[in-house]
Amino acid sequence: MAVQQLTDRTVGRFLGWYHRETAIAASTTTNAVQIPPLPPGSKISTRVIAQTNDAKVQYTISADSLVVAGTAVWEDWPEGSNVGTKNDLIEGPVTGLRCVTGATSADTTIFEILI
């Protein structure tokens, strides 16, 4: 299984990362986005924009090696599966995030992460 890396965002004075996927089709589970070790108390902003299709974010605390191997155990974010725009803050530590879309339509979904 392929693993995606976050994009470094060096805007201003703060170190951070960003990830964005667009045009995620119905009935799709994206490749995992590996999350780096973060300081205690760090929060990860996540957003899913699904116009008519339902979508959700899943996270894992499985070891990095399991994320890379595609054998991590995944859990749904507290927001569950939704239509429309949903934002949530996931408090670390987590080792990976991914987006899962439903099969309700051919609409596409956008998935974003900001640390």
Query: What residue ranges do the domains of the chain occupy?
Result: 3-11+18-114
User: What does the pLDDT read at residue 106?
Assistant: 61
11 has a pLDDT exceeding 80: no
| DSSP of 26-59 | TT-BPPEEEPPP--TT-EEEEEEEEEEEEEEEEE
User: What does the pLDDT read at residue 105?
Assistant: 61
User: What does the pLDDT read at residue 1?
Assistant: 60
74 has a pLDDT exceeding 80: yes
pLDDT tens by residue, 23-51: 898 899 999 999 999 888 889 999 999 98
Write down the CATH number for the domain with range 3-11+18-114: 2.60.120
Neighbours of 89 (CB within 10 A): 11
Q: Model pTM greater than 0.85? A: yes
